[in-house]
Amino acid sequence: MYVILGFIILIALYVVFIYNGLVRARQMAEEAWSGIDVQLKRRADLIPNLIETVKGYAAHEKTTLEEVVALRNKAQSVPPGDVAGRAQAEGLLGQALGRVLALAEAYPDLKANENFRELQTSLETMESEIQMARRYYNGAARDQNVKVETFPSNLVAGQFGFQKRQYFEISNEADRAVPTVKF
């Protein structure tokens, strides 16, 4: 009788241990997603300043600048939990930003402008931080996915509704391409 009771207690403790590991993995992934969201918000806040600086030098590049603003607004309107949608929108925004930065090559005065250089440096730093946050999130998502899929934690995960997480990645190969600007 005590052996059976001891065995049941051991199983219950093991389930609690697995459950807590799954909760920890989910929280790490949510915290990592929050980090990406913060970095993307910082980049979105930087874009209007970049656009205004470029506008003064490249008035006839209005369509490129309007595209960046439209893509920024689209990226910000993606629902918070839609990882794939956000990744796609941010990939398109990144391409458009690349085209804006490439405009500087055609405007030597713009390239020499201190505000533009500061904004460009800030944007490059921001892109690096976004990549770092994305890698952190994908690592946390991987950890959660491994726990959700591997035995015996998959039994507990299934019982308590733990799901796999989507990775934050660029799914369209064209989004990875270096933008080209033609005048």
Average pLDDT over the chain, rounded to an integer: 84
pLDDT digit string (tens) for 26-47?
999 999 999 988 888 888 888 8
Task: Note the pTM of the prediction, 2 decimals.
Answer: 0.71
Sign of the dihedral through C-alpha 172, 175, 177, 179: positive
Place 11 in a pLDDT band, splitting at 50, 70 and 90: very high
Q: Which of 161, 139, 159, 157 is nearest to 148 (CA)?
A: 157
- Cβ atoms within 10 Å of 147's Cβ, excluding its own: 20
b/e 112-121 (16+ beta carbons within 10 angstroms → b): ebeebeebbe
Q: How far apart are CA 131 and CA 127, in angstroms?
A: 6
**Whole-number pLDDT of residue 58:** 67
**Whole-number pLDDT of residue 4:** 92
Q: How far apart are CA 13 and CA 16, in angstroms?
A: 5
